[in-house]
Amino acid sequence: MPSASCDSLLDDIEDIVSQEDLKPQDRHFSRKHVVPKVRKRNTQKYLQDENSPPSNSTIPGIQKIWMRTWGCSHNNSDGEYMAGQLAAYGYEITENASDADLWLLNSCTVKNPAEDHFRNSIKKAQEENKKIVLAGCVPQAQPRQDYLKGLSIIGVQQIDRVVEVVEETIKGHSVRLLGQKKNNGKRLGGAPLDLPKIRKNPLIEIISINTGCLNACTYCKTKHARGNLASYPIDELVDRAKQSFQEGVCEIWLTSEDTGAYGRDIGTNLPALLWKLVEVIPRGAMLRLGMTNPPYILEHLEEMGKILNHPRVYAFLHIPVQSASDSVLTEMRREYCVADFKRVVDFLREKVPGITLATDIICGFPGETDQDFQETVKLVEEYKFPSLFINQFYPRPGTPAAKMAQIPAQVKKQRTKDLSRVFHSYSPYDHKIGERQQVLVTEESFDSKFYVAHNRFYEQVLVPKDPTFMGKMIEVDIYESGKHFMKGQPVSDARVYTPSISKPLAKGEVSGLPEPPYCELLCGETHIGRNRGRPPADSS
């Protein structure tokens, strides 16, 4: 079997690339076309076009790269940043995996199936003799796993160095860059936020406000990769939001492993950040909050209620409960009880009428009894969450929960099925038929039959595929509902409002590129951005 492993292994990319080397965003204009020239011979047989490199050239910056991202919004944002830097440097980001010279695989370590897909993709790349660069939480958490041996790895906090890692991999080296970003010994939130980026959806900007968390959940493998809480300063996050709106974005998602814990390491908090962000959101554009664990939302309930009522913030919050049994929560080390979770839900439902509250549940955690599980079923029956993520428990290697006595697989599967049946027994949107709603249209449905919009409560509303609606705020009359969506008919005489303050970037266009230097404008030889307009990485 052909192998993608390289001949030499370097412990760290600093063995080849100096800390003082220019970063990718600084080298856009200084990079010259490097074209190997073949000395002309007297005979026509040896003549070669000087503008084309020889067929066996391994010059970095001219290859095609295919990307695949698994997992959460944070991972997707990282993937967008890596694609943007590579495209800005000259690499072609392709959607055709077989056509690519190198595969960049951005992994998720939350559940066993996600890692299985990641491992299988590595095997397939090796079978097809592709160069491989690995990213994301799996190699960051366990870089010494056997199936990762000899392969290049870029850590979750080092994505601003992706060009160097890819360059060295193309040359035949295996490099690993897994360190933490620090300033005066203090851990930072990660790579700079102003890096070039290719947004999967040009209308949506995903901003990671912090990395890591303060919890130590016994089942969680992500903590091994992302570590303890490290937040970005408020001014950097506000600047990133401003830049996004200047590039035509009309919806911002805030993401992290726990948005509720934001700022505790730098002397601030989530409400302080949100009040600053809403000041720069254009009229009609919207902000969506990411997941927050119950302990860190409890002390900010009053302020969060006010913020979630703001007209430019979706009345939506994702608060995982995981179990409605206090004994199970204790074994999970979740640092709250069921009464705490109910207090959050009850308060927000009272103060933010109509709010959408999503939650997560793990079925079959070690030690969960039938009575424990029935308590969880009762919680779902009582609150009828419109958005519910039901997960069968998977023991992740290296976590305390993996060492506990496990519940039989068939029991876990049955509990997952039973809870899914309860979830599908109610219809959360039937009562909204006949309502007139204002919705923001941002994407196309999976079956390509509709455009997807979201109303004030981040509920999914399908609308007709009229190109004039994309990226616009429109009024619709709800005429049909399903388990996960509603359908809306645009109001004929209603105004179509454009929230963007500028035209959105084209799909695949690189964001965040600086203007070319004056000398290049004069000579007309601007090389940077020559890949603008190419399709983005596959981040499905």
Contact 93, 67 (CB under 8 A): yes
**In the prediction, which pLDDT does 514 show?**
66
* Average pLDDT value over all residues in the chain: 86
Alpha-carbon gap, residue 528 to 523, rounded angstroms:
14
Task: With a cut of 90, say whether residue 121 has pLDDT above it.
Answer: yes
54 burial via Cβ count (<10 Å: 0-12, 13-18, 19+): exposed
Task: With a cut of 90, say whether residue 526 has pLDDT above it.
Answer: no
Task: With a cut of 60, say whether residue 193 has pLDDT above it.
Answer: yes
> Residue 350 belongs to what H/E stretch?
helix 338-351
Average pLDDT over residues 523-531: 38
Q: What DSSP character marks residue 159? A: G
Query: In this predicted model, which residue has the larger pLDDT, 437 or 71?
Result: 437
Q: What's the pTM value of the predicted model, to 2 decimals?
A: 0.83
**In the prediction, which pLDDT does 168 show?**
94
Pairing of strands 210-211, 204-208: unpaired
Task: With a cut of 90, say whether residue 160 has pLDDT above it.
Answer: yes
> Among the listed ranges 64-68, 359-363, 528-532, which one has the minimum average pLDDT value?
528-532
Task: With a cut of 60, say whether residue 48 has pLDDT above it.
Answer: no
**In the prediction, which pLDDT does 315 show?**
98
When pLDDT is cut at 50, 70 and 90, the band that residue 515 belongs to is low
Token digits of residue 388: 């519910």
**In the prediction, which pLDDT does 61 show?**
78
Contact 298, 262 (CB under 8 A): no
The percent helix, strand, coil of the chain (3-state, each to 5) is 30, 20, 50
Residue 189 CA, distance from chain mean position: 15
Average pLDDT over residues 390-410: 95
> Among the listed ranges 20-34, 64-78, 182-196, 224-238, which one has the minimum average pLDDT value?
20-34
Query: In this predicted model, which residue has the larger pLDDT, 252 or 1?
Result: 252
Task: With a cut of 70, say whether residue 502 has pLDDT above it.
Answer: yes
Task: With a cut of 50, say whether residue 529 has pLDDT above it.
Answer: no
Alpha-carbon gap, residue 43 to 480, rounded angstroms:
75
List pLDDT tens digits, range 297-314: 998 999 999 999 999 999
Residue type for position 435: E
Contact 202, 505 (CB under 8 A): yes
Share of the chain above pLDDT 70, in %: 84
List pLDDT tens digits, range 437-458: 999 999 999 999 999 999 999 9
Task: With a cut of 90, say whether residue 250 has pLDDT above it.
Answer: yes
Q: What beta strand segments (E) does 35-130 contain?
A: 64-69, 92-94, 102-107
Q: Report the b/e string of 65-104 with b at 16+ CB within 10 A.
A: bbbbbbbbbbbbbbbbbbbbbbbbbbbbbbeebeebbbbb
**In the prediction, which pLDDT does 190 show?**
85
Task: With a cut of 60, say whether residue 24 has pLDDT above it.
Answer: no
List pLDDT tens digits, range 361-371: 999 999 999 99
When pLDDT is cut at 50, 70 and 90, the band that residue 471 belongs to is very high
Token digits of residue 471: 């990226």
Q: Give the HSE-up count for residue 530: Cα atoms under 13 Å, Cβ half-sphere.
A: 16
Q: State whether the Cα torsion 212-299-341-308 is positive or negative.
A: negative
**Residue that is written with structure tokens 């009522």 in the block:** 309
Alpha-carbon gap, residue 242 to 262, rounded angstroms:
20
Query: In this predicted model, which residue has the larger pLDDT, 57 or 341?
Result: 341
Task: With a cut of 90, say whether residue 409 has pLDDT above it.
Answer: yes
Token digits of residue 60: 């970095």
Alpha-carbon gap, residue 14 to 12, rounded angstroms:
5
Share of the chain above pLDDT 90, in %: 73
Residue type for position 486: M
